[in-house]
Structure 1
Amino acid sequence: MNLFLDALNFLFDPANLTGTNSILSRLVDHLAYTGLSMAIALVIGLPLGLLVGHTGRGRNAVVAVSSAARALPTLGLIFLIILYTGLGVGPLIIVLVILAVPPLLAGAYSGLEAVNRQTIDAARAIGMTEWQILLKVEIPLAMPLIFGGIRSATLQVIATATIAGYVGLTGLGRFLIEGLALRDYKLALAGAILVIALALCVDAILALTGRLVVPHGVARGLARSTDKSDAPTPRLHGRVSSAPSNP
């Protein structure tokens, strides 16, 4: 309990909020690593996932590559890249991008695959082009899963960016790593609290953004299948006379 109180005192001490190695400075660095990594991962993963989901081509290869990327040891990968490129922000960004791409891919192609095929066939039947089908039909209906992939990838990147301290960079993970190295567990706990708080705040912001981005009809589950089994049973109004029975 005393350790937790000491960590809170460190976090709320005005002397630790501003300065070169302050909480605010390292928070900005942490967000910069996350933002840059997510921007690159979105450029790579989202179009590829949409292409695979729309065409159905290369699905097995994408699933295999994304599964393999998730199994890579993050810390070992960053040290391997550093051996060839040297210290710097580059190796960290490469590792974070590799970590972020699989959830983006999975959210994009699984979201498009979940769209009712009859809806797409109906769009083609009325003369919509493939681009119009993708932009006006598939993406809006798949937006919950697409945005879920973005949300998952962002939280994974925020959590994993703490390894920046292992390679001489800053960020909130620096408090955690310095605290463990110096056996200053108050500092280590403060770093862990900061990373957790940042992840929760970003998750809340993304959840609110998701409500604004996802179409209301899709969010409320109003987009239903057009199968005959889902069609409402017609009701006959008035009395129905029965056929006369055979004598």
Structure 2
Amino acid sequence: MDLLTEAFAWLNDPLNWTGRNGVLALTAEHLRVTVLAVLLAALVALPAGVALGHARRGGTLGVVVANTTRALPTLALLTLFASAGLFGSSATVLACAVFAVPPLLTNTVTGLAGVDRDVLDAARGLGMGGSRRLWLVELPLAVPLVAAGVRTAVVQVLATVPLAALVGGRSLGSVVVSGFATQRYGQVLAGGLLVAALCLLAEGALALAQRAVTPRGVRESTRRATAQRPRRGLTAADPVPAVAAADGPRSNGTAR
């Protein structure tokens, strides 16, 4: 019996899906840890990203500092927390929250800072103050990028949470770790397939959610810009795309 056959045999066993350590219970715990980690990261990254993007000052430095955390291996953070006496889901939530901050902060800063200045000038000319411009103009236009940041963070955390099993936490990684411990490599493969399937489902659901929260005018403007590119006859070696990219925000602003 080869490895793939063993994996599907393990997945087809109803006993592996029920109980405290069954797939359903572990998936629920996996999702719970993921949600807590992303929410914790969002509480830090989203307000900071909104402030930096709205001010259009210090955003680059903030993004660079946040991205330095990508150099910290999540497993190293889990080991550090474990050495400090923090085990299980709590350690995993903190470690994954650190991992989720960069995409959330980067996309929020980029989304707000990328709003066309002509649009902001028009809003200012209508008598909108800073707060009203932020809530009624900047944030709605930044929603696609902010949503993309949330989508990236969620999928990354989903793929990282299995490491919780290494510090006493419960997740779908427990299936993998248990398989290695008992040398049942079909079970290891089955656990990997479950994690991959969960990430793909989350990616698809969040892609639909991102489309749903994107304002219709932004979607139409992006669709028109994409449809116009082939008609211009541009190639990757053509220097004109740089000009087209610079003109893009102004055309989008006009469309809005």
TM over 0.5: same fold?
yes
- Which residue number corresponds to residue 99 of structure 2? 99
In 1: Cα distance, 2:14 partner to 2:249 partner: 57
In 2: Cα distance, 1:219 partner to 1:155 partner: 23
> C-alpha deviations, 1:3-24, integer Å up to 9, x for none?
1122112112212111111000
The answer (yes or no) to whether the contact 1:53–1:109 under 8 Å persists in 2 is yes
Deviation at 1:225, TM superposition (A): 3.9
The answer (yes or no) to whether the contact 2:77–2:95 under 8 Å persists in 1 is yes
Deviation at 1:136, TM superposition (A): 1.2
Deviation at 1:96, TM superposition (A): 0.6
Deviation at 1:123, TM superposition (A): 0.6
Deviation at 1:211, TM superposition (A): 1.5
- Which residue number corresponds to residue 21 of structure 1? 21
Tell me the number of residue pairs that the alignment of Structure 1 and Structure 2 aligns.
229
In 1: Cα distance, 2:186 partner to 2:250 partner: 59
The answer (yes or no) to whether the contact 2:89–2:170 under 8 Å persists in 1 is no
Taking the TM superposition and a 5 Å limit, the aligned residue runs for 1:74-153 are 74-153=74-153
Taking the TM superposition and a 5 Å limit, the aligned residue runs for 1:145-164 are 145-164=145-164
Deviation at 1:110, TM superposition (A): 0.5
Point out the structure with the larger helix share. Answer: 2
Identity of aligned residues (%): 39
Deviation at 1:60, TM superposition (A): 3.5
- Which residue number corresponds to residue 189 of structure 1? 189
- Which residue number corresponds to residue 44 of structure 1? 44
Amino acid at match of 1:68: T
In 1: Cα distance, 2:173 partner to 2:250 partner: 50
- Which residue number corresponds to residue 242 of structure 1? none
Deviation at 1:65, TM superposition (A): 1.6
Residue 221 of structure 2 aligns to a residue in which SS?
Answer: coil
In 2: Cα distance, 1:11 partner to 1:132 partner: 53
Residue 123 of structure 2 aligns to a residue in which SS?
Answer: helix
Deviation at 1:64, TM superposition (A): 2.4
> C-alpha deviations, 1:14-72, integer Å up to 9, x for none?
12111111000100110010011111111111111111100023224312221211111
Name structure 2 gaps, 5 residues minimum: 225-247
The answer (yes or no) to whether the contact 2:172–2:194 under 8 Å persists in 1 is yes
Amino acid at match of 1:219: R
Amino acid at match of 1:192: G
Structural RMSD (CA): 1.8
State the TM-score, normalized to the length of structure 2: 0.84
The answer (yes or no) to whether the contact 1:179–1:185 under 8 Å persists in 2 is yes
Deviation at 1:139, TM superposition (A): 1.2
> C-alpha deviations, 1:63-114, integer Å up to 9, x for none?
2221211111110111112211332322211101000011000010001111
Deviation at 1:143, TM superposition (A): 1.3
- Which residue number corresponds to residue 217 of structure 1? 217
The answer (yes or no) to whether the contact 2:88–2:170 under 8 Å persists in 1 is no
The answer (yes or no) to whether the contact 1:111–1:142 under 8 Å persists in 2 is yes
Name structure 1 gaps, 5 residues minimum: 232-247
Amino acid at match of 1:124: R
Residue 21 of structure 1 aligns to a residue in which SS?
Answer: coil
The answer (yes or no) to whether the contact 1:44–1:101 under 8 Å persists in 2 is yes
Amino acid at match of 1:70: R
> C-alpha deviations, 1:216-241, integer Å up to 9, x for none?
111222696447xx98xxxxxxxxxx
- 2:17 matched to 1:3? no
Larger Rg: 1
The answer (yes or no) to whether the contact 1:85–1:91 under 8 Å persists in 2 is no
The answer (yes or no) to whether the contact 1:34–1:161 under 8 Å persists in 2 is yes
In 2: Cα distance, 1:68 partner to 1:84 partner: 23
> C-alpha deviations, 1:175-194, integer Å up to 9, x for none?
11221232211110010000
Taking the TM superposition and a 5 Å limit, the aligned residue runs for 1:192-207 are 192-207=192-207
